[in-house]
Amino acid sequence: MKKRVLTGINTTGTLHIGNYVGAIRPAIQDSKNPDVQSFFFMADLHALIKCQDPDRIERSRMQIAATWLAAGLDPERVVFYRQSDIPEIPLLNWMLTCCTSKGQMNRAHAYKAATDAAVAAGKDPDADVSMGLFCYPILMAADILMFNANEVPVGHDQIQHLEMARDVATRFNNLYAKPDESFFVLPQATGGSAIEVLPGLDGRKMSKSYNNVIPLFEGGRKALDEAISRIVTDSRLPGEPKDPDSTSLTVIYDAFATEEESAAFRQELRDGLGWGEAKKRLADKIDAEIGPMRQRYEDLMAHPEQIEAILQQGAARARVYATDLIAKLRYAVGLRSFQKLETASATKAQKKKAPATLFKQYRESDGLFYFKLTHEGSELLVSDGLESGRDAGQWVGRLKKDPASLAEAPVHFAEGVAADNVVALLKSLAED
């Protein structure tokens, strides 16, 4: 069974080189592991906690989605979706909220930092605390537990929240799961990159709040050159020996170079390489990696409908998992359907009727094999072309046995058909 890894992407502001090195690049590399099932989501509900500017939220969501896609995230390999497109997440959030103590939320670092800042300013401790900020760790727990992620790459500031997610999962399991079952796995925190925090132009952590960032795609090569020209260095002239560790320039160079290239660059600085030439080499080194991605980013930003289509496809795949889990949780907590069960005789009579839902396998003129699913004469989905009839038959058998595997199946849906409705239909067939 593949290991599930879930990565959340905040959607406020635009991304910079520090985000790329510390999070984007390592996450995309990890997503190519065939033994890993990766979930990437745009945390746009979280963004509402700190930002009430609708235009900024809209722009940021588009920029950040385009950035990840341009940097190489493959939406066919991973499940890439917006948090707000999965209505089961707020429902799970509420279920978890109802079994989480206020005392635990009182100990959250973000809440304590907000109350400490208010007190220091002479205000009421909760003057600047919204319920979104206070309950942020529970929504984060819902994000993780909805897809039963085994691992979550987080920075040091988020480790406490992951521990809270484990606590919430354990409490819910203890309250509602039977002795021999468990609704949630307990996620583990993992690091994202060997260079988790990249220094900025002034040597401090690269952060927009410090105005010391190097832009990733915005502004093109010109903006990249201008930012790098502002990296703080000493006043030693070309020809004078320089200390490579006296500036963040070399650390940033290390993030894009091999060990051999970094060693040679540092030696050249010791031998008198001028700071101006060193900055040009850094700009060239960064642009060699991100320059080819920039055109893809600009194309996506010019065609937001392409981004929307990718995210909607990802949401459909994500909801296959979400609807399956939330149905179990609704039953577990008592939010059950009032629908009357069919009598045995009615069920027996129904089974004698011709099946309303059918899988059909066939071969097309292209020589490939296909299968499709119909219900009461209407086509619901059609597979991609497969190399053999055996492949098509194996997929049909798998979907009948495990409807949740639809998220991985090589199929496309008919217009207006929702993936979760197909899964529900397949489940009803399996029960029959």
334 is an annotated ligand-binding site residue: no
Q: Which residue has the tokens 């021999």?
A: 180
Structure tokens at 26: 């390592």
CB 227, CB 18: distance < 8 Å: no
155 is an annotated ligand-binding site residue: yes
19 is an annotated ligand-binding site residue: yes
* Amino acid type, 206: M
13 is an annotated ligand-binding site residue: no
206 is an annotated ligand-binding site residue: yes
Instruction: Please classify residue 296 by burial: count the beta carbons closer than 10 Å to its beta carbon, then call 0-12 exposed, 13-18 middle and 19+ buried.
Output: middle
198 is an annotated ligand-binding site residue: yes
157 is an annotated ligand-binding site residue: yes
Structure tokens at 87: 């209505």
18 is an annotated ligand-binding site residue: yes
101 is an annotated ligand-binding site residue: no
Q: Which positions make up the binding site for ATP?
A: 18-19, 155-157, 198, 205-209
Q: Which positions make up the binding site for L-tryptophan?
A: 143
Q: Which positions make up the binding site?
A: 18-19, 143, 155-157, 198, 205-209
